[in-house]
Amino acid sequence: MKGALISESLRKHAEKDMKKSAQVFKKMQKSRLIALLTPKSKNECLRAYEILRPFGVILEIAFRSEFAVDGLKAILKKFPEALVLAGTVMTPQQAESAIKAGAAGVVSADYIPDVVKICVENDIMCIPGGLSDVGKQLVQKAESYGCSLGELQLKYPYQWVYKLFPAFAGEVSNIDLFQSWKGPYKGLAVVYTGGVTLDTLREAVKKDPQGIFCASALTKHLAQPELMKKETKKWKETLKSEPPQPEKQVRAKKMEKTQAPRVVTFGELMVRLSSPPGVRLQQAQNLDLRFGGAEANVTISLARFGLEAAFVTALPENDLGANALDVLRQNGVDTHFIIRKGKRIGIYYLEHGSGPRPSKVIYDRANSAFSEIRPADLDWERILENSHWFHWTGITPALSDSAAASLRKGLEVARKKRITVSADLNFRRKLWSEAKAGEVMTGLMAYVDILFANEEDPTRVFGLRPRKTDVVAGKLDIEDYREIAKELVKRFGFKKVAVSLRQSISASENIWSACLFNGKNFYKSPKHRVWIVDRVGTGDAFAAGVIFSLLKGRTDQQALYFGVAAACLKHSIYGDFNLASEEEVERVAAGVTSGRVQR
């Protein structure tokens, strides 16, 4: 009964203040400045509001202060129409007290479902914060209102909002994350807070001219009203400045004028024969026929994302070769540079793992058409004309000396044409030894700008051993990979090193993440728990996601997040190819992983 009385009391306050959320949201969009105050008395709240009011700057009172409720009440007593936000609300109890005190909206430092629930029940604007849960909180809001995401944006625009926190952390800027959010969530209002100063504001407003910025720096001179007014004017003037056109947009326009292909990859496409899930190869009565191969997997992902992607390989003049060619074309790949020669296509047999039983691969690719390819077979000058990117993996030089020589010739031409080159180490112990891999790959690294690897490749190929990591036990230490990435950049001069990190709980369940080092900053992605339908090609999906993002002009952190999201989705798709769309990847990158039916 007591709970019902509290709920009814909150409902009455919400009905009284229902329009406040809409009003404060419009004011936020107009002013674009929120001043955060952690009060030491209720009078500080009143004083701050009085100073900020003429400037149209919204006051947010941190509810970690014991004076927050009384301060909010004091403001509303003197200014009944005041629109004030309750900040740092971390519990449903704080949310209830904020709503009862008359807050126009509730702001949290994290996504806290119980806080969102209280706010939506009372139709009060709720602004959760963080770096990765934007989708989750929007989905919860829509479900609580009993509507779709589209209806949420139209009917409750003041709930179509999220707080990017921290916007700045030391030398690291997270500002660019908003672009990955506004892809799947068009029109999302983003509040940037954490590390926002007058200096960082200048950088932030150039990247997001519509951004809303919240800072405690706006109230640091509260004891000196005239100085606080002077500082507030500077912040307002900074927001009025017209930002220059971002460099990435200029690059994108230049790229639009160039001709295809934009990305070229080089490697072997194989027939994949797999036994049904749960059936071992030694007992199989039938096998499923598909196609796959590391470089081809990357090419198909890029083509499906909308880039112009060409695949260079050799296929035999028979029905299997024709079938493979048709599959590539069906997925939008440019096949003009595929040569037809040789007697057979490479094959690999796959047994799907489950639980404690790992997956198993058997190769039958000796004397395949691709392994017999020669440098004279390929006109790299023509192949790489008008290209922006060339991608290959360590599997290609492992297949034969002639394949390695053909690759080197392509790399030399790419270097001459100043084309970005990426390589995935992709060590396969069934193809060559660690010693041979180290020798050959070391000689090819001088041509590489961006290196991809998994958690074991740097050890197998270059002897770089993590100190605290136990891959077999599924224990990965991120600091180990920070040091390994730094050493790789130091040793070979790479522009970037991206390492995918798989923690194996079993063959059916993994934890997937990745990290990236660009010679200055080290980024790590959120961890994703994945339940595996087919893990083959997940590393290729990661590489494709990063390449696609970088070619689109996104930041390193955005590229990392997109690549990880692409790989997570690939775990759920049968076959080598990642058949996820850009929009689907963007949703996972933004934190929508509930898997609810899309109707």
Residue 244 confidence (pLDDT) above 50: no
Residue 258 confidence (pLDDT) above 50: no
Q: What's residue 242's pLDDT?
A: 44
Residue 32 confidence (pLDDT) above 60: yes
C-alpha closest to that of 347 among 249, 392, 281: 281
Instruction: Share the mean pLDDT of the chain.
Output: 89
Is 540 one of the catalytic residues?
Answer: yes
* 3-state percent helix, strand, coil for the chain, nearest multiple of 5: 45, 20, 35
Alpha-carbon distances of 528 from 127, 291, 408, 417, 550, rounded to whole Å: 24, 27, 37, 39, 22
* Ranges for all domains in the chain classified under CATH 3.20.20.70: 2-244
Residues 576-598, mean pLDDT to the nearest whole number? 81
CATH fold for the domain made of 250-589: UDP-N-acetylmuramoyl-L-alanine:D-glutamate ligase (3.40.1190)
Residue 80 confidence (pLDDT) above 70: yes
Distance CA 341, CA 333 (A): 20
Greater confidence (169 vs 97) lies with 97
Amino acid of residue 108: S
Q: What's residue 12's pLDDT?
A: 47
| pLDDT tens for each residue of 404-427 | 999 999 999 999 999 999 999 999
Look at phi and psi of residue 107 and say left if phi exceeds 0, alpha if psi is from -120 to 50, else beta: beta
C-alpha closest to that of 547 among 302, 283, 209: 302
Residue 2 confidence (pLDDT) above 70: no
* Ranges for all domains in the chain classified under CATH 3.40.1190.20: 250-589
3-state SS assignment for residue 311: strand
Q: Name the catalytic one among 133, 208, 540, 576.
A: 540
Q: Provide the 8-state DSSP code for 475.
A: B
Position 60 confidence tier, pLDDT thresholds 50, 70, 90: very high
Residues 273-284, mean pLDDT to the nearest whole number? 94
Position 174 confidence tier, pLDDT thresholds 50, 70, 90: confident
Residue 246 confidence (pLDDT) above 50: no
3-state SS assignment for residue 280: coil
Asked if 179 and 211 count as a contact pair (C-beta separation under 8 A), the reply is: no
* ∠ Cα 20 49 66 (to 5°): 90
221-228's contacts with Cβ under 8 Å and 24+ in sequence apart are 222/37, 222/44, 222/47, 222/48, 222/51, 225/47, 225/51, 228/51
Name 492's Cβ contacts closer than 8 Å, sequence gap at least 6.
445, 446, 448, 451
Asked if 290 and 315 count as a contact pair (C-beta separation under 8 A), the reply is: no
| pLDDT tens for each residue of 320-377 | 999 999 999 999 999 999 999 999 999 999 999 999 999 999 999 999 999 999 999 9
The percent of residues in the chain predicted with pLDDT above 70, rounded, is: 92
Q: What's residue 470's pLDDT?
A: 85
Greater confidence (295 vs 184) lies with 295
Domain 2-244: give its CATH superfamily.
Answer: Aldolase class I (3.20.20.70)
Beta-carbon-side half-sphere exposure of residue 76 (alpha carbons within 13 Å)? 20
Position 549 confidence tier, pLDDT thresholds 50, 70, 90: very high
Q: Is 543 exposed, middle or buried (0-12, 13-18, 19+ CB in 10 A)?
A: buried
C-alpha closest to that of 537 among 260, 304, 322, 283: 304
Lowest mean pLDDT among 142-146, 240-244, 249-253, 373-377: 249-253
Greater confidence (208 vs 281) lies with 281
